Copies of this chain bind each other. A is one copy, B any other.
Amino acid sequence: MTSAFLHHGGRLTEAARRFGGDPGEWLDLSTGLNPAPWPLATGTTTDWAALPDPDALAALESEAARHFGVAPALVCAVPGSETALRLLAPMLAMPGRALVPAYRTHAEAFAISRPVAFGESPERPEAIVLANPNNPDGLLHTPAAILDWHAGIAAAGGWLVVDEAFVDCHPQASVAPEVGDDGRLVVLRSFGKFFGLAGLRLGFVIAPGALREPLRAALGSWPIHAAALAIGRAAYADGEWIARTRAELPRRAAALDRVLDRHGLAPQGVCPLFRYLAGCDAEALFTRLARARILSRPFANQPDTLRLGVPADPASLDRLDRALARG
């Protein structure tokens, strides 16, 4: 399998080059992005000419903080939570540890990183990165279990970084409200996944001042582009859309589960943006779907697993159903 597909989802141009068709014909189930994005107001235009306004940055961080349930002062907007982790890792200046399976950046961001099991207490200062819910397997831990782990990690002089890129559907599972200037807890949030607008490259770091201030310094005076400032702020303020989407995504995921169950593919995970298939012949399944112009997400080193994004509508789900039936 081409390594392009094993690294990240969303490589539609590469998929079309490899398996044929126009990228526009493809059904992209290779990411965990909400395929029914927050609706941009039509006619909205961005003022690209001016430098981004520092007041607009503060307003975005404040609106996002309200959504996260934290004090605005703890929040630093970043051009993507992936970039943020890559900037934070050298600032932490200690070896990293990541779960298996995990989002690949969780290990890659550190010069040295070893696997870790959830709850395993380190004996030395180490930076442990956990996604909750986890990607790709969709496993969700309770805040109590995470905070318990944090206590042991902090006692050893380490840091716990909780990547909550996919937590928006489980607000009660977020540990963001536990971040404080005296803790060793960092939370990453992503705008693009739940709101389905990954092209904006917008994320947030909720961290103690000891990390937040060097991060702000590294990003400089204008970390966020003009469109992300305006769209991010408006979307986080749209409580009605957020509530509706939190109800709708699990319904779509349940419909996908019924199709997968029918084909004998036991879906795993609780995050309603994707499902994880373990114990399958991933290469064969990936290729079968690709021939039907459906892009799924295989993983390097885990040849028996595949991740599927949740289709946006019945027509897309039916297309997947037919591709799976083709055998």
State the A residues within 8 Å of B (CB): 7-14, 28, 31, 33, 35, 37, 40, 46-55, 79-80, 82-83, 86-87, 90, 105, 108, 192, 196-201, 217-228, 231
**Do B217 and A86 touch (CB < 8 A)?**
yes
Tell me how far the C-beta of A192 lies from the nearest C-beta in chain B, rounded to whole angstroms: 8
A28, A37, A51, A218, most chain B CB atoms within 10 A: A51
Q: Are B48 and A197 in contact (CB under 8 A)?
A: yes
CA distance A9 to B46 in the complex (A): 20
Contact indicator A86/B219 (Cβ below 8 Å): yes
Among the listed B33, B108, B224, which residue makes an inter-chain contact with A201, where contact means beta carbons less than 8 Å apart? B224
Q: Are A86 and B220 in contact (CB under 8 A)?
A: yes
Which of chain B's residues have a CB closer than 8 A to the CB of A108?
217
The complex places the Cα of A87 from the Cα of B86 at a distance, in Å, of 11
* A223: B residues at CB distance < 8 A: 79, 83, 201
A51 and B221 form a contact (CB under 8 A)? no
- Please state if B48 and A231 are interface contacts (CB–CB under 8 Å): yes
Q: Report yes or no: A10 in contact with B51, Cβ–Cβ below 8 A.
A: yes
Q: A105 contacts which chain B residues (CB < 8 A)?
A: 220-221
Which chain B residues lie closer than 8 Å to A218 at the CB level?
A: 83, 86-87
Given known contacts A200-B225, A225-B79, A225-B200, is B220 in contact with A13 (CB within 8 Å)? no
Task: Judge whether A83 and B220 touch: CB under 8 Å.
Answer: yes
